[in-house]
């Protein structure tokens, strides 16, 4: 079978429908990343947008803002990694070679 025979049977519309279904499902996902042993939590959605930042209110916030900012960044990075893993676990077999987009 030649590559041209494969292309004859290729249905771009079904591929687009499957991609649209995956996108719709991923957009509903929510995960929470943590840093500092749960001191800071960042919740993101499937579009990797921040939905919420939660933190324990204590003296570190006013005394060491640099560390607090670092914890927020770390929690965001943790949330992004969790989202990538969730997408990979749910759609890994469907993504095939496209999984490299997620950094896997």
- Residue 40, SS3? strand
Q: Which of 72, 69, 76, 91 is nearest to 45 (CA)?
A: 76
Residue 83 has a pLDDT of 96
- The string of pLDDT tens digits covering residues 69-93 is 999 999 999 999 999 999 999 988 7
> H or E stretch including 94?
helix 65-95
Residue 11 has a pLDDT of 75
Residues whose CB falls within 8 Å of the CB of residue 70, separated by 6 or more in sequence, listed in order = 35
- The string of pLDDT tens digits covering residues 37-55 is 999 999 999 999 999 999 9
Q: What pTM value is reported for the model?
A: 0.76
């Amino acid at each position: 079978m030649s590559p041209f025979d494969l292309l004859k049977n290729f249905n771009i519309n079904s591929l687009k429908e499957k991609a649209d279904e995956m996108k719709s499902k991923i957009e509903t996902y929510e995960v929470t990343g943590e840093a500092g042993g749960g001191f800071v939590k960042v919740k993101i959605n499937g579009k990797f947008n921040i939905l919420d930042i939660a933190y324990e209110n204590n003296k570190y916030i006013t005394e060491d803002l640099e560390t607090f900012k670092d914890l927020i960044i770390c929690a965001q990075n943790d949330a992004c990694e969790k989202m990538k893993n969730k997408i990979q676990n749910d759609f890994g077999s469907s993504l095939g070679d496209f999984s490299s987009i997620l950094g896997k």
